[in-house]
Amino acid sequence: MDNKSAIALAKNPVFHDRSKHIDARFHFIRDCIANKEIEVEYIKTLDQVADIFTMTLKKDRFQQLRKMIGVVKESSLEGGVENSKG
């Protein structure tokens, strides 16, 4: 997560006036944290690879994130398999 307020809200099971609008069924993250099923930690915006799927990006940022998730150009996959045994 790159939102410190969301992380604090997820980690703190205390009811807050600012969070009373959040339906109880959406507090499953808190339960997962309490049950040690997941860990929530801060991720700097520059390292937030999910942005490639959720934001409009400039070309250089798109290419950087694409590389971070391991997507390669189709042309780099051209060729064949030699000497393979099946």
The alpha carbon torsion through 39, 37, 31, 21 (nearest 10 deg) reads 50
Neighbouring C-beta atoms of residue 65, cutoff 10 Å: 20
Amino acid 52: pLDDT: 92
- Which H or E run contains 78? none
Task: Specify the pTM.
Answer: 0.51
| Start-to-end CA span in the chain (Å) | 44
Model pLDDT for residues 24-77, shown as the tens digit of each residue: 666 788 888 889 999 988 888 888 899 999 999 999 999 999 999 998 777 766
Distance separating alpha carbons of residues 44 and 57, to the nearest angstrom: 16
